[in-house]
Amino acid sequence: MRLALDEAGRAATGGDVPVGALVLAADGTTVLSTGHNEREATGDPTAHAEVLAIRRAAAALGEWRLTGCTLVVTLEPCTMCAGALVQSRVDRVVYGARDEKAGATGSLWDVVRDRRLNHRPEVIEGVLADECARLLTGFFRAR
């Protein structure tokens, strides 16, 4: 999560909401990719930290299935990102701060555990939650 927090800091430097993510390989230690929000920097509404990290991990592996991989992200994924997690077959999602306004892995919605879908990753929430939340709160207070 500390690496994801570093990525989140890069997002804030570029004027984006400070969310950072990384994808770990099936061994649980090798970092396949990183990402941070780049919507403002690129003008791309899909440039969320999770989506970018997933794309880059797939490129690193040479395939779209991220079976065995773990996505670590500082903020609970939104519906778009939760859908990307299901579609990419990530095995587990680890996140820091809950997102009561747009979260889709347990708070507002629970897309990733919907029994109607063909893949349901494990969800681990609250890792360094206070630190992740403070980064976001500080960003929005400064705006």
Known binding residues are: 48, 78, 81
Instruction: Determine contact, residues 76/103, Cβ cutoff 8 Å.
Output: yes
50 catalytic per annotation: yes
7, 38, 50, 76: the active-site residue: 50
Rg (CA), the chain: 14
Binding residues for Zn(2+): 48, 78, 81
Residues carrying an active site annotation: 50
